[in-house]
Amino acid sequence: EAGVAQSPRYKIIEKRQSVAFWCNPISGHATLYWYQQILGQGPKLLIQFQNNGVVDDSQLPKDRFSAERLKGVDSTLKIQPAKLEDSAVYLCASSLGSFHPNSYEQYFGPGTRLTVT
């Protein structure tokens, strides 16, 4: 079974530029998550999708971050404009979803390491 795919793996941009990250979840997984992990800290949830609808985006800085999951499969996370404090690893995860009786595990991708200079 293929895992969660993310691209790019690394990205370096200057502050005030824009950047986009892509995630392809495990086939059949209804729920998709984006987490931000700053160096030395645990991951922090940014946004959660159930199919193509947003379940929780309470911690997403909406003035600069946006995310979409068109057609309920792939997802894109965008930052515009980037700030120095956005330097972090952006992790995508997926799970079977709340309507599946055996859903208890989140599967994480390898992450995208963003450096803002």
Q: Which DSSP letter does residue 36 get? A: E
Residue 37 or 66: the one with the smaller Cβ distance to other proteins is 37
Tell me the closest approach of the beta carbon of residue 46 to other proteins, in angstroms: 9
The letter for the amino acid at 97 is G
Tell me the closest approach of the beta carbon of residue 34 to other proteins, in angstroms: 10
Q: Cis link prior to 8 (omega < 30° from 0)?
A: yes
User: From the list 31, 77, 82, 114, which residue makes contact with other proteins (rule: CB under 8 A)?
Assistant: 31
The window from 18-26, 60-68, 78-86, 107-115 that contacts other proteins (CB under 8 A) reads: 107-115
Judge residue 94's burial from the number of C-beta atoms within 10 Å of its C-beta, 0-12 exposed, 13-18 middle, 19 or more buried. Answer: buried
CA distance 44 to 46: 6
Residue ranges that bind other proteins, judged by CB under 8 A: 4, 31, 33, 40-45, 48, 56, 91, 93, 95-98, 100, 102-111
